[in-house]
């Protein structure tokens, strides 16, 4: 008997943590990265995390998506651009010299405070 896969299985979407606005995909991420917020509004989460770790990682990355939507956080392959608020000047950080996810960065502090 032929059985159709549901959309989430077909596209690799994690049904437990995705919302209509934010699809979450479980992937093999490089290094010790647990999750990534992407400019297209998606979140990638490391495969193999526990349900709690996945939920916490998605909550953290959702803060970054919100920061991006407000125009406060942007990034490309080489830089991260951060504005403390919408009226502050932007500061540009070189990604080659940074420890991504470091809680000392203001954008990370906001995300860690949401846990």
Q: Give the distance from CA 7 to its chain's centroid.
A: 22
- In 18-101, which ranges are continuous DSSP H helix? 51-69
pTM of the model: 0.87
Asked if 27 and 14 count as a contact pair (C-beta separation under 8 A), the reply is no
pLDDT in tens, 53-76: 999 999 999 999 999 999 999 999
Q: How far apart are CA 69 and CA 82, in angstroms?
A: 12
- Give the residue from 80, 71, 77 showing the smallest Cα distance to 101: 80
Question: What pLDDT, on the 0 to 100 scale, is given for residue 44?
Answer: 97
């Amino acid at each position: 008997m032929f059985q159709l896969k549901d959309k989430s299985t077909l596209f690799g979407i994690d049904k437990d943590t995705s919302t209509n606005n934010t699809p979450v995909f479980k992937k093999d991420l490089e290094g010790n990265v647990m999750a990534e917020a992407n400019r297209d509004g998606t979140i990638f989460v490391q495969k193999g995390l526990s349900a709690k770790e996945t939920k916490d990682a998605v909550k953290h990355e959702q803060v970054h998506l919100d920061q991006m939507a407000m125009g406060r956080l942007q990034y490309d392959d080489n830089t991260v651009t951060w504005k403390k608020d919408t009226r502050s000047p932007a500061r540009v950080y070189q990604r080659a010299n940074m420890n991504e996810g470091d809680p000392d960065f203001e954008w990370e502090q906001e995300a860690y405070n949401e846990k």
